[in-house]
């Protein structure tokens, strides 16, 4: 006999990004580089000496202190979890639920809706304007009409790659007045961060991840920075010892390699500009990116067919072609120089065949 899952999960598909085994995978915005060798050597050595028979430090003090120092905040303003997705889930466990409404401006990161559903939080999809940016005045009106208690703002936004207008978050915090969650998964790619605003607003949470620039997607580490009352709530809904000892240590040690991280950012930005320059001479439109990925669309349409043609040439990109407002769009992650060249060659060939 089949037992039905909890109400609200019935027709719901969950996260879906195919993991296809092809030579060139440019579909999930990971870093193309391994973490720095010295970091891995220091970490594996330390892990060898750990007392794994004991539960880890429940408050992950070392990692929390390193994150706090990096951002110039106090340790009481930092929460850490298994990837920023788990941070987002903790936020909804703490501030969502069936009597609260969560909102975000679409198209945006699909996990906001997914995690809202998983935590029984009603979700409202608000619209971006024709530029695919959040229109501040309309956005605030829409938030009020939808009676949202919490809004996710992803900046730079995934999958568009666009940075929101400066001042958006600040104004939203003052005028919306409820919880604003700013997802800065790609925050290292520009100088605009909402982190300094946490000293002025106690309704802001900034979420960051080690999955992209820190080259640690496989390790699942993310964190939140917010007023200490919010951070206390996040710790309250986290499972005891939710972060394993080896992961907490890796997060802590990573901050000894900031220069390497910044070097990767510069490299990826220069490659991104190179790929965008090439896009300019092809039959494509694209959104100028503030991240390590680019959203683009063949001018003659047939986005899904283009995705297939690229895959046949061993290049996997992300297919957004059937998403509302993203008709025919694909998203490519910036990889190594060789990967980007292979992508561009496959793209030119595929566009000829389209
Ligand atoms: C990649 C990404 C994340 C990262 O999620 P993790 O769970 O930390 O791997 C979060 N938000 C956005 C918008 C992303 O693109």
Ligand 1 centroid–CA 279 distance in Å is 26
Residue 20 is predicted with a pLDDT of 81
- Per-residue pLDDT tens over the stretch 110-134: 999 999 999 999 999 999 999 999 9
- Per-residue pLDDT tens over the stretch 95-113: 999 999 999 999 999 999 9
Residue 207 is predicted with a pLDDT of 98
Please choose from 84, 87, 154, 189 the residue to mutate so as to test ligand 1's pocket, defined by most ligand atoms within 8 A of CB.
84
- For residue 28, the ligand 1 atom closest to its alpha carbon is 1
User: Both ends of the chain: CA-CA distance in Å?
Assistant: 48
Residues 6+ apart with CB under 8 A from 257: 35, 36, 38, 39
Using only the alpha carbons of the chain, give its radius of gyration.
Answer: 21
Residue 325 is predicted with a pLDDT of 95
Residues 6+ apart with CB under 8 A from 61: 75
- Does ligand 1 have an atom closer than 6 angstroms to the CB of 154? yes
- Does ligand 1 have an atom closer than 6 angstroms to the CB of 152? no
Residue 11 is predicted with a pLDDT of 61
- Does ligand 1 have an atom closer than 6 angstroms to the CB of 343? no
With beta carbons less than 8 A apart as the criterion, state whether 334 and 268 touch.
yes
Task: Indicate whether 15 pLDDT > 70.
Answer: no
For residue 231, the tally of other CB atoms under 10 A from its CB is: 23
- Does ligand 1 have an atom closer than 6 angstroms to the CB of 211? yes
**Mean pLDDT of the 259-283 span:** 97
How many secondary structure helices (H) and strands (E) does the chain include? 11, 13
- Per-residue pLDDT tens over the stretch 299-331: 999 999 999 999 999 999 999 999 999 999 999
Task: Indicate whether 14 pLDDT > 70.
Answer: no
Ligand 1 centroid–CA 2 distance in Å is 33
- Does ligand 1 have an atom closer than 6 angstroms to the CB of 189? no
- Does ligand 1 have an atom closer than 6 angstroms to the CB of 156? no
- Looking at every residue in the chain, the average pLDDT score rounds to 95
**Mean pLDDT of the 219-232 span:** 98
Task: Indicate whether 234 pLDDT > 90.
Answer: yes
Please choose from 109, 110, 219, 331 the residue to mutate so as to test ligand 1's pocket, defined by most ligand atoms within 8 A of CB.
109
Task: Indicate whether 10 pLDDT > 80.
Answer: no
Task: Indicate whether 39 pLDDT > 90.
Answer: yes
Structure tokens at 165: 């207008």
With beta carbons less than 8 A apart as the criterion, state whether 184 and 222 touch.
no
**Mean pLDDT of the 58-70 span:** 97
Ligand 1 centroid–CA 271 distance in Å is 21
Helix (H) or strand (E) holding 343: helix 337-353
- Does ligand 1 have an atom closer than 6 angstroms to the CB of 321? no
Residue 29's pLDDT band (cuts 50, 70, 90): very high
* Angstrom distance (rounded) from CA 82 to CA 274: 34
With beta carbons less than 8 A apart as the criterion, state whether 169 and 161 touch.
no
Please choose from 67, 158, 220, 320 the residue to mutate so as to test ligand 1's pocket, defined by most ligand atoms within 8 A of CB.
158
Share of the chain above pLDDT 90, in %: 92
**Mean pLDDT of the 247-275 span:** 97
Alpha carbon dihedral 36, 41, 43, 45, in 10-degree steps, equals 180
Ligand 1 centroid–CA 152 distance in Å is 13
Using DSSP's 3-state secondary structure scheme, residue 109 falls into coil
Residue 2 is predicted with a pLDDT of 85
């Amino acid at each position: 006999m089949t037992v039905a899952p909890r109400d609200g999960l019935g027709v719901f598909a969950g996260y879906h990004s195919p993991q296809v085994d092809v030579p060139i995978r440019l579909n999930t915005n990971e870093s193309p580089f391994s973490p720095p060798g010295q970091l891995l050597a220091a970490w594996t050595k330390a892990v060898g000496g750990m007392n794994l028979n004991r539960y880890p430090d429940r408050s992950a003090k070392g990692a929390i202190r390193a994150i706090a120092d990096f951002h110039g905040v106090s340790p009481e303003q930092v929460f850490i979890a298994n990837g920023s997705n788990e941070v987002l889930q903790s936020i909804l466990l703490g501030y969502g639920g069936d009597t609260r409404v969560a909102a975000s401006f679409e198209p945006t990161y699909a996990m906001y809706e997914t995690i809202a559903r998983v935590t029984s939080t009603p979700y409202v999809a608000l619209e971006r304007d024709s530029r695919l940016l959040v229109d501040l005045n309309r956005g605030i009106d829409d938030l009020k009409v939808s009676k949202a208690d919490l809004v996710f703002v992803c900046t730079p936004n995934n999958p568009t790659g666009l940075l929101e207008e400066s001042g958006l978050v600040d104004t939203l915090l003052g005028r919306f007045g409820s919880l604003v969650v700013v997802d800065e998964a790609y925050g290292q790619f520009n100088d605009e961060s909402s982190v300094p605003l946490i000293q002025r607003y106690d309704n802001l949470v900034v979420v960051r991840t080690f999955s992209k620039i820190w080259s640690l997607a496989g390790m699942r580490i993310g964190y939140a920075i917010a007023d200490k009352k919010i951070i206390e709530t996040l710790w309250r809904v986290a499972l005891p010892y939710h972060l394993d000892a080896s992961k907490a240590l890796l997060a802590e040690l990573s901050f000894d390699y900031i220069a390497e991280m910044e070097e990767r950012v510069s490299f990826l930005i220069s490659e991104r500009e190179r790929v965008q320059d090439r896009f300019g001479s092809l039959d494509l439109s694209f959104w100028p990116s503030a991240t390590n990925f680019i959203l683009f669309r063949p001018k003659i349409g047939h986005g899904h067919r283009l995705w297939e043609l690229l895959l046949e040439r061993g290049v996997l990109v992300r297919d957004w072609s059937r998403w509302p407002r993203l008709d025919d769009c694909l998203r490519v992650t910036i990889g190594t120089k060789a990967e980007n060249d292979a992508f561009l060659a496959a793209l030119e060939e595929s566009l000829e065949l389209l």
